[in-house]
Each structure stands twice: as structure tokens, then as C-alpha cells.
Amino acid sequence: MRTKVFVLIIFCMPIFCMLSKAQNYGTAKDYLLSKLAVTSTMPFQSFSWLNASCGNDYLLKELTRTRLETVILYHRHAFALRMSHYGYAKYGELTTSVAYALKLGTKMAVGLQFHYIFQHVNHYESLHSVTFDFSLYAQASRKLSFFFELYNPARLKYGVTGKTVIPMRFTVATLYEFNEKLLFSVKIFKELPGIFDVDAQCCYSPKEFFYLSLDLSLHHVQCGVMLRFRHLYFTTDVKYNYNLGFAPEIGMIYQLPIGDRWPGR
């Protein structure tokens, strides 16, 4: 069922794209912020969108990842609905998230996102969990900005009343815009208990229809390309984990004619 829904969305996106007539498009900053995927950055992006992507970890079908996402921008507000599944038919984790971000003035925004986590394994009882994350984004100057995100700060548990605590994750990052075509970010990530990572990412847009990204961290290297046709964006990413191997992903983003960010309104 998930595969059929994904294929239907991919099929319909080019039709929507052909009907679009607006003239302004996403920037390199939009591309980088969408890859960072932090709720509080949404009000600083240029347009509302629908995103569908699919990939797998280490070229194993049992570790397939699919994601559907829609983000709606309206004045100082941003709303998001996200669904992702990791695994395959016999076992996996389905996460449904609802997010809201509010722009405070012209240089700051806060975001809150709630997650429902459904874990399933054949012949075992399913597990239902809930948690949330909080984030803050601030611009120190026209070129420099910062953000942080805290996932599961309340240390909620799997199964709500279970014994295992959902890992708490802390992310802090800085973003620097050399110009409208070239951006650079450094992100520090820590999971408790779990991994520690430092991630440097660069995004470059030599043409308004062509975007490149390079991501270097302590655990992986990743390259990404995005191509635009009208209001349809085709994305592809290839990640190489130093210990485990390749993790490819492809996707499409459609620029939605919703809210007051649509060009011409």
C-alpha cells in the first residue's frame, strides 16, 4: 500500500508542475534548509512544498526508507505533516509527525513537532510510542544564523509506559551564506545514549535550476544533486558510511500554490 501511494504521488507531481505559472523558485538556502530538516527553519524558506522520497541503507531492501512530507507557509506561520517508514513488510518503524513553527520578528523562529511512532515485527505485539522535539532558529546577521534542536527532552519511553527510554538527541548548528548561490553549515549532533557526530555541509547553486551539496562527517560522506523543472524538483543523494557502505536516495519536491508565499501574491 505504501509503495502504491508513493508511485501515485510521483506520477501526479509532473502534472501539477505543468499547470504552474509562477516565476520565482527555490534558492540554495531553501535546498540546504530542507536537507537539515529542522522545524524552526521552515518560516525562513521561500515556498510551501510536497516532498516524496525513497531510499535504502547499505543497498539492502530490508532497510528501505520512504518519506512523505508537506509543509504549508502562511505569513509568520509554518505547518508540516510528515510520514516516514523504515524497514519493510515483516518489520519496521512508521513515524507520523505534526509540526508547527512561528516566526518571531524578522530574525528568529521557534518550532515544535510531535511524533507518533509505530513499531511492528511479524509474530510479535506492535509497539506504540509518542514523543516531541523543540527547536529554535536565529539570524545573528544577514549572512550568519544558528539553530538548535532537542528531541525527546521529556525522556519519554517506548510504549509510553515501557521501560526503555526513547533516545534523547541534541543538535546545534551554524549556517553561513557567502552569497545567494553558496552556503556552508556546521552541525554537532549527540544522541543519549548513542553516537556523537560533527557534520560540515556545503551547498552550491551555479544555475537557478541546478543545485549541488557535499556533506562530510565523522561517520559518512554524502553527495547530493537537485534539478528543477518549473516547480518540480528532482533530488538524488548518495551517502557512504565509512564502516557499512552506500545508502542511495531519490525524491521529488513540488512547489505548492498554497499560502501567501506563492510567487505573485
- For every residue of 180-219, DSSP letters joined together read TTEEEEEEEEEEESS-EEEEEEEEEEEETTEEEEEEEESS
* Contact indicator for 84, 94 with CB cutoff of 8 Å: yes
Within a domain: 49? yes
Within a domain: 142? yes
- Beta-carbon contacts of 156 under 8 Å, excluding residues fewer than 6 positions away, are 129, 130, 131, 165, 166
* Contact indicator for 130, 114 with CB cutoff of 8 Å: yes
Element (H, E) at 7: helix 2-19
Within a domain: 88? yes
Within a domain: 143? yes
User: Among 81, 4, 28, 134, which Cα is nearest to 258's?
Assistant: 81
Please tell me the predicted confidence (pLDDT) of residue 162.
80
Please tell me the predicted confidence (pLDDT) of residue 160.
80
Within a domain: 264? no
Q: Is 261 exposed, middle or buried (0-12, 13-18, 19+ CB in 10 A)?
A: buried
- The grid coordinates listed for 69 are 512530507
What range does the domain containing 166 cover?
A: 2-255
Indicate the pTM of the whole model: 0.85
Within a domain: 94? yes
Rounded Cα distance between 179 and 104, Å, is 24
Within a domain: 114? yes
**What does the pLDDT profile of the chain (265 residues) look like in tens digits?**
544 444 444 444 444 444 444 445 678 888 888 888 899 999 999 889 999 999 999 888 889 999 999 999 998 999 999 999 999 888 999 999 999 999 998 999 999 999 999 999 998 889 999 999 999 999 999 999 999 999 999 999 998 878 899 999 999 999 999 998 999 999 999 999 889 999 999 999 998 889 999 999 999 999 999 999 988 999 999 999 999 999 999 999 999 886 555 544 4
Strands 210-217 and 232-241 turn out to be: unpaired
Amino acid at 31: Y
How many structural domains are present in the chain? 1
- Beta-carbon contacts of 145 under 8 Å, excluding residues fewer than 6 positions away, are 137, 138, 139, 174, 175
User: Strands (DSSP E) along 57-107, which ranges?
Assistant: 64-74, 77-88, 91-104
Please tell me the predicted confidence (pLDDT) of residue 10.
46
Rounded Cα distance between 48 and 215, Å, is 25
SS (H, E, C) 221-262: EEEEEEEEECCEEEEEEEEEECCCEEEEEEEEEEECCCCCCC
Within a domain: 263? no
Q: Which residues pair with 56 in a beta bridge?
A: 64
Please tell me the predicted confidence (pLDDT) of residue 143.
93
Rounded Cα distance between 255 and 252, Å, is 10
Please tell me the predicted confidence (pLDDT) of residue 18.
40
User: Among 162, 157, 168, which Cα is nearest to 133's?
Assistant: 168
Q: What is the CATH classification number for the domain harbouring 106?
A: 2.40.160.40
